[in-house]
Amino acid sequence: MSHTLAYILGIVILIVGIGLSVALHELGHMLPAKRFGVKVPEYFIGFGPKLWSTRRGETEYGVKAIWLGGYVRLLGMLPPARPGHPDKPGSMIAEARAESLAELGPDEQDRAFYRLSTPRKLLVMAGGILTNLALGVICLTVALGVVGQPAYTAKLGSVSACVSSNIDAGAACTASDPVSPAALAGLQAGDTIISWGGEATSDWAQVQEAIAAAGTEPADVVVRRDGEELTVTVTAVEVARTVYDADGNPATDSAGEPVTRLRPYVGIGPSLGTVRTSPAQIPQVVGGAVGMTLKAIITLPAGLYHAVAAGLGLEERGADGLVSLVGVGRIAGEVSSAGTGSDTGMPFSIRLFYMLNLLGSLNLALFAFNLIPLLPLDGGHVAGACWEGGRRVWARAHGRPDPGYADTARMLPVGQVVFYLLIIMALILIWVDIVAPI
């Protein structure tokens, strides 16, 4: 497959993943709503022109052209105006109330969403939010525990033919250089080290530790080659190797000369692949990802400021900064096409890990973003239900009359402002992703 086709394929996979996430998010709203009797006339993935639809019972299910979201239409989301507090005729609030209740017949008034109890409202509105959380956790868990994180593995990527005169500089072998211990023992590229000197090895770090522990004593090494296990004996030699500091730079002494240290040398190099995360560590890693996503939402204004500053060239753009769907699409394309047509390219397992991680992160972002307690986000409806329930509990506790439904329609002007701010933010991030891509 060509690089261009692989890049496009990555974007297509991302679009399909977003579409599925949206579809399941809206199902998270629709299923409990139907279960509680709310009338649901429409369930669509996408916006804009209708591409396909079918009707099942009272609900029309379909797909629209622009896969940047979706919706499920629940009738009666807004309650009627309170007695004695009519809306201004022709106002946005009055029209929104009328539209919300228009399709409910006289015998269907009890099927309006606003008639649900507070716990049921919370289940309906939180259903989509929690669906994204579940999808994010599932994607990250599969990426970590099934596919594995990118790492150097116990599978050999290279075997040196000799002990060269300058190993760290990658000096070529000469006729006078001795044969490497790995070549003498018969190790080959593609062998997977199962154990070294009796120490089990599942990744490259463990192989390095086992070599250091064995020193220059003969060590029995068990490898898997072509599906079979073989045992060879390897005797490392001691060579002077450059010492590196914590930043990966060569350490120097007081005279500025490179610092070296005698270490066991075998002459093998690892291959890049994936190493599965221990089941005991996965909750901590996934929990950390959820926490970082929530922090990003809490610090959204600061993140937007840094994105704009990067777009204006005032600072370097951080790899963990805010991105738009354009930036996410670029990442998906680059991951999918990495190393296409090259023997030294990124292994498929690593590309699969990054794609699952990307889809998981997107779902966590949708989860966290919808927690914001403002309309038109789900969090705004959750906040309205909580306010309604709190007022009723307080009224019962103090012997007061039922205060009635929370009039979320009064927050529609605020919701409209939030909607326009979201559009502006999306356009800003698209601009930043074009002029200062991550």
Catalytic positions: 26
Nearest-angstrom CA–CA distance, 156 and 266: 12
Tell me if residue 150 falls in helix, strand or coil. Answer: strand
| Residue 231 backbone dihedrals phi, psi, to 5 degrees | -120, 125
Do residues 365 and 293 make contact, with C-beta atoms less than 8 angstroms apart?
yes
- Could you tell me the CA-to-CA distances from 283 to 144, 280, 286, 371 in Å, in that order? 10, 7, 5, 22
Nearest-angstrom CA–CA distance, 28 and 2: 39
Q: State CA 322 to chain mean position distance.
A: 13
Q: To the nearest 10°, the Cα dihedral for 16, 21, 25, 27?
A: 50
Six-digit token pair at 235? 């005797």
Do residues 114 and 404 make contact, with C-beta atoms less than 8 angstroms apart?
no
Nearest-angstrom CA–CA distance, 424 and 371: 20
Q: What is the DSSP letter of 183?
A: H
